[in-house]
Amino acid sequence: MKKIYLAVIVMTFVLTACGSATTLTAIPTISLDENGSSSNDQSSPAADSISAAAVVVPPSEARLSFSTIGSVTSVNVKVGDKVTAGQTLVTLDTTIQEASVRQAEANLLAAQIQVNYQKRLGVDEVHIQTAEAEVARAQALLDSANAVLESQSTLLAPFDGTIVAVDISPAETVTPGQVVIVLGDLSNYQIETTDLSERDVIRVQCGQTAKIFIEALNEEFSGKVIDVDRVSSTLGGDVVYTVTIELDTQPKGLLWGMSADVQIETAE
C-alpha cells in the first residue's frame, strides 16, 4: 500500500536576556496510508470467537423458605437426598393454622343456620339473600384458612432434584423468607458466563458452538449456546450479559460452582 510520510519539525525560538537561542523539538514521524489512517493503529479485524469467564450451574435451582413464622416439627431430608416434585421436605407446627380452620368452620355453620332460621320465619327475600351472602363469605374464609394450613406449614419440592443444603432442624423457629432448603437439578450441568460484555453479546446467538475449559478438571470440553439473557446485570460497574452453554457431554467430577473459561465461535 502506498504510504505518505510526513515529518513535522517544530521550531521554538527562546529569547533570553543575553540574546536569543533556538530550540528544536522533533515530533515523531507518522505514517499515513492513502485513506488517512495511521499505520500505528493496533486495531485488527473482528475475531471469529469471543472469550469469557464462566461458572458451572445446574439447569434448575431453588432456595426454599416459608412465608410465615413457625416452629419446625420435622425435617424429612438430608444433604444428598434425591427428591421428586411435590415431596414433603419440612413441616411446621400447625396448631395456630388448625385453630383458624376450626374458627372458620364454626362461622360457616352459624351463617348456614341463620339462613335456615330466616327461611322458617318467612322473612322477605332481601333478608334471605343477605344471609346467603354471609354464608358465601364464611365459605371463602374457610377455604382461605385451609389453603394457609396446607401451603404455609409444609415445604414441598418444586421439581425433581438433589438436596444441596439443609439449614434448619426440628424445634427451631423459622421466619418468613429464611432459606431452609437449597435444591438443585444436578443431573445435567450447564455453563453460564459471568463477564460477557454488552459489546460482545451482540455477536452471540443460540446454536453457536463453544469450547469450555474447566479449570478444576484441567480439561477442555465442547458445547453450544442455548440461551442469551434478555436483561443485563452489572459487574464492577460494567454491563454484562449471561450466556448459557449446554455441554455435549457431562464430565465426571463436575460440580456446581466450578470456574471455567469459554470461547464462543462467532464466525458466520
Summarize pLDDT for 207-220 with one digit per residue, the tens: 999 999 999 999 99
Measured between its terminal Cα atoms, the distance across the chain in Å is 29
Identical fold between 49-60+185-265 and 94-151 = no
Predicted pLDDT of residue 268: 57
pLDDT at 70: 86
* Per-residue model confidence (pLDDT) at position 94: 84
Q: Name the CATH superfamily, with its identifier, for domain 49-60+185-265.
A: Efflux pump adaptor protein, beta barrel domain (2.40.30.170)
Instruction: Encode pLDDT of 103-121 as tens digits.
Output: 999 999 999 999 998 888 8
Question: So what's the pLDDT on residue 46?
Answer: 46
Beta-strand ranges (E) seen in 17-130 are: 19-26, 30-32, 49-57, 61-65, 70-75, 82-83, 88-92
pTM above 0.95, yes or no: no
- Decide the pairing of beta strands 209-214 and 219-228: antiparallel
Higher pLDDT, 161 or 17: 161
Q: Where are the domains of the chain?
A: 1-40, 49-60+185-265, 94-151
Over the stretch 46-101, which tens digit does the pLDDT of each residue have?
468 999 999 999 999 999 999 888 899 999 999 999 999 999 999 998 888 888 89
pLDDT at 42: 37
**What cell was used for 206?**
443460540
Asked whether 131 and 118 are in contact (CB, 8 A), the reply is yes
The phi and psi torsions of 117 (rounded to 5 degrees) equal: -65, -45
Kindly indicate the confidence band of residue 6, based on its pLDDT and cuts at 50, 70 and 90.
Answer: very low
pLDDT tens digits, 23-54 = 444 444 444 444 444 444 433 334 689 999 99
Q: How far apart are CA 140 and CA 169, in angstroms?
A: 34
Residue with the larger pLDDT of the pair 197 and 122: 197
Share of the chain above pLDDT 70, in %: 82
CA 174 remoteness from chain centre? 24
Confidence band for 251, pLDDT divided at 50, 70 and 90 = very high
The CATH class for the domain spanning 94-151 reads mainly alpha
| pLDDT recorded at residue 47 | 63
Q: Do residues 58 and 186 lie in contact, with contact meaning Cβ atoms separated by under 8 Å? A: yes
The predicted-structure confidence for 119-158, as pLDDT tens digits, reads as follows: 888 888 888 899 999 999 999 999 998 888 777 789 999 9
